[in-house]
Amino acid sequence: MTALAPVLDTLDKNLDQSLDRLFDLLRIKSISTDPAFKADCRQAADWLVADLKSIGFDASTRDTPGHPMVVAHHEGPAGSPHLLFYGHYDVQPVDPLDLWEDDPFAPAVKTGERGTKIITGRGSSDDKGQLMTFVEACRAWKAVHGSLPCRISILFEGEEESGSPSLKPFLESHAQELKADFALVCDTSMWDAETPAICVGLRGLVGEEIVIHAANRDLHSGEYGGAAANPIRILAKILADIHDENGSVTIPGFYEGVEETPSQVLKSWEALGETTETFLGPIGLSIPSGEKGRSVLELTWARPTAEFNGISGGYEGKGFKTVIAAQASAKVSFRLVHKQDPVKIREAFREFVRSRIPADCSVEFHPHGGSPAIQLSYDSPFLIKAKDALTDEWGKPALTLAMGGSIPIVGDFQNFLDMESLMVGFGLPDDRIHSPNEKYELSSFHKGQRSWARILDALTK
């Protein structure tokens, strides 16, 4: 009998007890963005510390200017790898409350729309249910063998849903303590309810707000129209110039560091069956707007973008007002891939804008975050072992996917700890995270525990 088999049996036998523990954590109203729930956030952190101590971790609550961090360590066999697992115990607000079918902080197991068993409640998928899959895998290893298969550190934060303001300073000041061979992040999703996935790429992000100033006051368009510069017109022309007729970004140097996705990876994405119709149809669209000649998955997972997230200027109230505004503004975001440099992208964009501002007008810029893209090597030994472990558990080949969004912690691990991350999650697209009636598939919770047990076993061989 292998060391793994009795661990898996223990997880199966103790599923009900693991649900009880998860429910205890889900009942805590750890809403990080609302100061009214500050005590609840600390309660969640303290609950996790106590639970980790019960397994044998050296765990503690660490104060920050915001909500506390949970840090825990457990030794492993000599020569075994050191892994750092990350999750977050804070949750999104529950408003609007009247759209919830049940109390968001009264978790239960129900039958979902697909006829499967689901765990209901705020945080069930994002991220309490996810992080507890790993904790339960560790608990089972300790129960069976009295030890863990490798050295494990854990970092749970309480501000992920409110921008993680304390995280970077904490990583900087605790870099030596938290540095490991590899990070494990469980805040992603499967491809579908039966197909596991590992995220190997995350797009980076640059956010920028531009404000164009023209006249020293709003003007009557009859008296000044045709003679005075109109900042809305200037802004519209600048934004229109950012893309060419093929959907490519025209900012000089924008594609520096952008690599083509390996052909075998593109073929594996094609095999997923996602089409323009299946991707855009549900949102009422039918024509891709990005670079021509690329699939929707390549456009959203592996290509950089420039998008306009908000435009303001002039009279925006009801009715009509013939005014030439004194200023106009826009919020622009860039999703980055591969080796694009956020600093260079920001400066290239600013120079692009400055070169189009009339001499008697001015522009100011307001940065809103910036992080590089994350790309895990497709032949990483950690990735290959984890992929095989997931395939063994789910009975279907684990997919290597990318994500169009960003998970800043992964970049922070790379920047501050020089550490790559393995992103394995068991959420589903219909888990309604950040929305009313959040849920987590019972199979995700159960097989997620078994998956982490298999991954720990595989990574230590």
- Check residue 341 and give its pLDDT: 94
- Binned at pLDDT 50, 70 and 90, residue 163 comes out as confident
Structure tokens that stand for 195 in this block:
């197909």
What gap in Å lies between CA 76 and CA 65, rounded to an integer?
32
- Check residue 380 and give its pLDDT: 84
Supply angle C-alpha 157, 163, 169, rounded to 5: 60
Contact 126, 57 (CB under 8 A): no
- In this structure, are 237 and 360 located in the same domain? yes
Q: Where among 371, 406, 430 does a domain terminate?
A: 371
What gap in Å lies between CA 120 and CA 442, rounded to an integer?
10
- In this structure, are 110 and 97 located in the same domain? yes
- Check residue 396 and give its pLDDT: 94
- In this structure, are 399 and 334 located in the same domain? no
What gap in Å lies between CA 423 and CA 198, rounded to an integer?
6
Q: Where among 342, 371, 400 does a domain terminate?
A: 371
Structural Rg of the chain based on CA atoms:
25
- In this structure, are 218 and 364 located in the same domain? yes
Query: What mean pLDDT do residues 369-390 have?
Result: 87
What gap in Å lies between CA 268 and CA 263, rounded to an integer?
9
Give a yes or no: residue 297 inside a domain.
no
Query: What mean pLDDT do residues 76-80 have?
Result: 94
DSSP secondary structure code for residue 36 in this structure: G
Domain count, the chain: 2
Over the stretch 423-455, which tens digit does the pLDDT of each residue have?
999 999 899 999 999 999 999 999 999 999 999
Q: Pick the range with the lowest mean pLDDT from 28-32, 46-50, 279-283.
A: 279-283
What gap in Å lies between CA 292 and CA 39, rounded to an integer?
51
- In this structure, are 232 and 316 located in the same domain? yes
* DSSP assignment string, 388-428: HHHHHHHSSPPEEEEESS--HHHHHHHHHH---EEEE--B-
Task: Name residue 206's beta-bridge partners.
Answer: 334, 370
Please give the residue range of the domain that contains residue 215. Answer: 206-258+304-371
H helices present in 247-341, as ranges: 263-270, 276-280, 296-301
Higher pLDDT, 401 or 236: 236
Contact 305, 334 (CB under 8 A): yes
Burial-class residue 319 by CB neighbours within 10 Å (0-12, 13-18, 19+): exposed
Give a yes or no: residue 285 inside a domain.
no
pLDDT at residue 229 is higher than 90: yes
Give a yes or no: residue 283 inside a domain.
no
What gap in Å lies between CA 257 and CA 114, rounded to an integer?
43
Here the CATH number for the domain that contains residue 108 is 3.40.630.10
Give a yes or no: residue 18 inside a domain.
yes
Q: How many helices (H) and strands (E) does the chain have?
A: 15, 18
| Global pTM value | 0.83
Over the stretch 315-347, which tens digit does the pLDDT of each residue have?
999 999 999 999 999 999 999 998 899 999 999
- In this structure, are 41 and 138 located in the same domain? yes
- In this structure, are 158 and 238 located in the same domain? no
DSSP secondary structure code for residue 189 in this structure: B
Higher pLDDT, 248 or 282: 248
H helices present in 64-166, as ranges: 128-145
- Binned at pLDDT 50, 70 and 90, residue 1 comes out as low
- Check residue 72 and give its pLDDT: 98
Residue the block writes with tokens 């050296």: 58
Higher pLDDT, 404 or 451: 451
- Binned at pLDDT 50, 70 and 90, residue 372 comes out as confident
- Check residue 284 and give its pLDDT: 94
Give a yes or no: residue 108 inside a domain.
yes
- In this structure, are 49 and 160 located in the same domain? yes
- Binned at pLDDT 50, 70 and 90, residue 60 comes out as very high
Give a yes or no: residue 237 inside a domain.
yes
- Check residue 17 and give its pLDDT: 98
Over the stretch 302-320, which tens digit does the pLDDT of each residue have?
999 999 999 999 999 999 9
Nearest to 452, CA basis, from 393, 396, 409, 374: 393
Q: Where among 371, 390, 414 does a domain terminate?
A: 371
Here the CATH number for the domain that contains residue 224 is 3.30.70.360
- Check residue 459 and give its pLDDT: 93
What gap in Å lies between CA 440 and CA 214, rounded to an integer?
52
Higher pLDDT, 303 or 403: 303
Higher pLDDT, 272 or 12: 12
Burial-class residue 316 by CB neighbours within 10 Å (0-12, 13-18, 19+): exposed
Average pLDDT over the chain reads 95
Query: What mean pLDDT do residues 344-364 have?
Result: 98
309: CB partners within 8 A, 6+ apart:
331, 332, 333
- In this structure, are 46 and 168 located in the same domain? yes
pLDDT at residue 276 is higher than 60: yes
- Binned at pLDDT 50, 70 and 90, residue 375 comes out as confident
- In this structure, are 253 and 328 located in the same domain? yes
- In this structure, are 132 and 23 located in the same domain? yes
Percentage, residues of the chain above pLDDT 90 = 86
Contact 445, 129 (CB under 8 A): yes
What gap in Å lies between CA 36 and CA 71, rounded to an integer?
24
- Check residue 235 and give its pLDDT: 98
Give a yes or no: residue 293 inside a domain.
no
Nearest to 186, CA basis, from 409, 432, 15: 409
Task: Name residue 441's beta-bridge partners.
Answer: 118
Over the stretch 112-129, which tens digit does the pLDDT of each residue have?
999 999 999 999 999 999
What is the greatest pairwise CA distance in the chain?
Answer: 89
- In this structure, are 144 and 45 located in the same domain? yes
Percentage, residues of the chain above pLDDT 70 = 100
Neighbours of 204 (CB within 10 A): 24
Give a yes or no: residue 278 inside a domain.
no
Structure tokens that stand for 5 in this block:
């088999």
171: CB partners within 8 A, 6+ apart:
178, 412, 413, 416, 417
